Amino acid sequence: MSYQGVWTLAEVKEGRLKRVAFELLTRGRKLADKLEVELASLIISNNVDENEARRLIEAGANKVYLVNDKRLENFIVENYSRVMIDLVEKHKPEIILGAATTMGRTLLPHVAVRLEAGLTADCTELDIEEETGNLLQTRPAIGGNILATIHTPKHRPQMATVRPKSTSPAEQVPDREGEIIEVEYNTELYDGRVERLGFRTTEGEDVNIVDADVVVAGGKGLKKAENFALIREMAEYLDGVVGASRDAVEMDWISYPHQVGLSGKTVTPKLYIAIGISGAIQHLAGMKTSENIVAINEDPEADIFKVADIGLIGNLFELVPLINERLAQEKEVEKVEV
């Protein structure tokens, strides 16, 4: 049996599919249509019902492989890897896509090594090479300074992880038809050497800029770490989170989980405010799809203004305190009205 078809790994939290599962279907559908093959999604978890799995069919999957078992409720790479490898060896998909999340970045390399397959991590673009049908995988390289396109013509399946929020979720069509295949868990695949005892994050790692509706980001124009207090104040007034440019992170003004850009996180909030950020191409790639972009910079030629919906040209140390003062007044009015 030759390798054929495109698979996506659908991540789940507490029985519900994550947004990134539908983003991967947008990528997978494009590739499957170009190759004229089926698109399938794989769910490995516990207590995911058929109605939830059907959402993947509605979003474009032709098939959904659903593996439910209490021993799979928590992600443990050895257990998930064995399940995935067993299914891949039986059905032989040509392409497998996962998200560049903690799970995807852990599971897909584990699977790729054991299958002796090629894997490109943290991709921002995917396509099919017309002449060969090979998967073209584009990702940032050399610290985000260039984009490299990689292909693995001699190995199958071809595997890639894709940045969350780098594309829109696939649209769900309620009447779309497809097949849900409930796979009985083979207990012989259970590893058992690793057990989850608990979960905690290290300081700063719980920052979630990817899913935030409002991101207020600071850059080199802030001049020193202490001035990020202006950014934090504005983010607090707007019920948002703090983002940062690569320069600000590299100068140790703020921790890496806040970094936006090719070498950081890709974000698509409803509002993105860039303060003291010039707009290097690496940064723009991580935030230019935001719904509304406001930029504050004293350089009228700054590249950030090319993607901004509203641009304020001036000294941020004069403008930002004025904006924060007005936001504080608005907050007080809201309290009085409540």
**pLDDT digit of tens for each residue in the chain (338 aa)?**
689 999 999 999 888 999 999 999 999 999 999 999 999 999 999 989 999 999 999 999 999 999 999 999 899 999 999 999 999 999 999 999 999 888 999 999 999 999 999 999 989 899 999 999 999 998 877 666 678 899 888 899 999 999 888 888 999 998 899 999 999 999 899 888 888 888 766 554 556 788 889 999 999 999 999 999 999 999 999 999 999 999 999 999 999 999 999 878 888 899 999 999 999 988 998 898 899 999 999 999 999 999 999 999 999 999 999 999 999 988 777 665 65
User: With b meaning 16 or more CB within 10 Å and e meaning fewer, what string describes 221-259?
Assistant: bbeeeebbebbebbbbbbebbbbbbbbbbeeebbeebbb
Look at residues 117, 135, 118 and name the one whose alpha carbon lies nearest to residue 126.
135
For residues 239 and 252, the answer to whether their CB atoms sit within 8 Å is no
Residue from 254, 184, 192, 186 nearest 219 by CA: 254
- Predicted local confidence at residue 192, as pLDDT: 82
User: For residue 78, what pLDDT is reported?
Assistant: 94
- Residue 7 CB neighbours (<10 A): 28
Helix axes 228-237, 316-337, angle to 10 degrees: 30
15 Rama class: left (phi>0) / alpha (psi -120 to 50) / beta:
left
Enumerate the domain spans of the chain: 6-189, 214-337
| pLDDT given at position 164 | 85
Angle between helices 102-115 and 77-91 (to 10 degrees): 50
For 241, list phi and psi in degrees, rounded to 5.
Answer: -125, 165
pLDDT of residue 170: 92
Count of beta carbons in the 10 Å neighbourhood of residue 52: 18
What is 6-189's CATH number, 1.10.357.10, 3.40.1170.10, 3.40.50.620, 3.20.20.140? 3.40.50.620
CA distance 286 to 288: 6
* pTM (two decimals): 0.73
CB count within 10 Å of CB 185 equals 18
Give me the half-sphere count of Cα atoms (radius 13 Å) on the Cβ side of residue 320.
27
Helix 19-35 crosses helix 50-58 at what angle (to 10 degrees)? 50
pLDDT at 145: 67
Element (H, E) at 122: strand 118-123
Sorted by sequence, the CB contacts under 8 Å of residue 217 that are 6+ apart come out as: 231, 242, 243, 244, 245, 258, 260, 272, 273, 274, 275, 277, 287
Domain 214-337: give its CATH superfamily.
Answer: TPP-binding domain (3.40.50.1220)
Do 6-189 and 214-337 fold alike per CATH?
yes
Element (H, E) at 273: strand 271-275
